Amino acid sequence: MNHYLFVCMAAAIASAFVASTHVNGQVRGEARTQVRGREGTVPPRPIRPPAIRERTATSPSSFRFDGTPEPPELADAELFTPEEQRNIAVYERTNRSVVNIMTRTVRPDFMFHIEVAEGSGSGSILDTRGHILTNLHVIEGAREIRVTLHTGAVYEASFVGEDPLNDIAVLKIDAPQADLYPVALGDATGLRVGQRIYALGNPFGLERTLTTGIISSLNRTLPSRNERKMKSIIQIDAALNRGNSGGPLLNSRGQLIGMNTAIASTTGENTGVGFAIPVSTIRRVIPQLIQNGRVVRPDIGIVAVHTDRGLVIGRLTRGGPGERAGLQGFRLIREQMQRGPYLYERTRVDQSSADAILAVDGQPVQSRDDFHTAIERKKPGEDATLTISRQGKTRDVKIRLEPTR
């Protein structure tokens, strides 16, 4: 027992001695530091507890619901991926160039009562004079057209011109130039399948909505009017819905490369197959619509018809280029028939005398659309050479084209 007490007392004395030595050494060390500081060799560095340290750029600026600090705020380069940064840049550059188009149409219903129908679509600002690009089907038959800018201001729009063949129309609003941000027109010649694209519009009236996707295919065709087809159509997988028609299709530089015009769907809603009119067509058509209100195309004065003999001339415009060149169409033959005491007269169409159209400028044509497309590549006043077949013999006929009337 006495031995145990002796051990405990020895341990206590040793602990007290060590503590005293540590404190004295610390005080002497601080004194030496202060002395060296006064001599200018090593300046003193005050020690502050973490709770009162100054905030740095990496310090948290707010706290979570449970009281724990949030991570520090990040710069844009850290917040967004390069793809997201590109999406943001395209939207910020172009969204003010997109307008919302509201239409009001008056039509009789099945009981012959007057019915007012409203529609909506999208458009792009072309210039600071207030010209707006959109689809013809967006505003066709409308009694009232209203255009809403990015500022929220609403303007009555006047009709400028239309091209039914390509479903293109131009409107005009009287708005301050400071509120008009024209869209930049790009180039469609370098488009590639798989290229990133952006669609801007107003689906279901939700203004300036951005969707993204890729070009799914090129050089598609869409049915147009008078058994014609729209050419070089761009197929995309970006989401398009009702109200997107007339809005711009953009590349990654924020340039307009097409105008969204249709979707392939059995329900009327987006199925991932959309179509856009290429900017090459828009560039060709828009100046004529602004200047003339219509597209002045070359006219050859021929109505072509597809028969079992292929493409033949059905009718010639009287005094037109085709008739002056000596071409032949269907002949109307009047015949008299005797039936008992009565004499009847009838008219039949003789197709055998009609010239068959084989080619235009050496390029074979097999349909009406092929024929008219070949002619429309030219300008009024230029010549087109038709290769025709007449009674089994082939010949070339040069024809001077005239402007459409």
Which residues make Cβ contacts (< 8 Å) with residue 307, sequence separation at least 6? Answer: 351
Question: Cα(398)–Cα(378) distance, rounded to whole angstroms?
Answer: 14
Whether 127 is catalytic is: no
Provide the token pair at 76.
């844009």
> Which among 120, 122, 131, 167 is annotated as catalytic?
167
Question: Cα(199)–Cα(206) distance, rounded to whole angstroms?
Answer: 13
Provide the token pair at 206.
């939700």
Whether 352 is catalytic is: no
Which residues make Cβ contacts (< 8 Å) with residue 236, sequence separation at least 6? Answer: 197, 199, 213, 214, 215, 216, 249, 260, 274, 275, 276
> Which among 137, 179, 353, 361 is annotated as catalytic?
137
Whether 396 is catalytic is: no
> Which among 163, 245, 299, 355 is annotated as catalytic?
245
Q: Contact at 8 Å (CB) between 198 and 184? A: no
Total residue length of the chain: 405
Which residues make Cβ contacts (< 8 Å) with residue 303, sequence separation at least 6? Answer: 313, 314, 315, 316, 317, 329
- What residues are annotated to the active site? 137, 167, 245
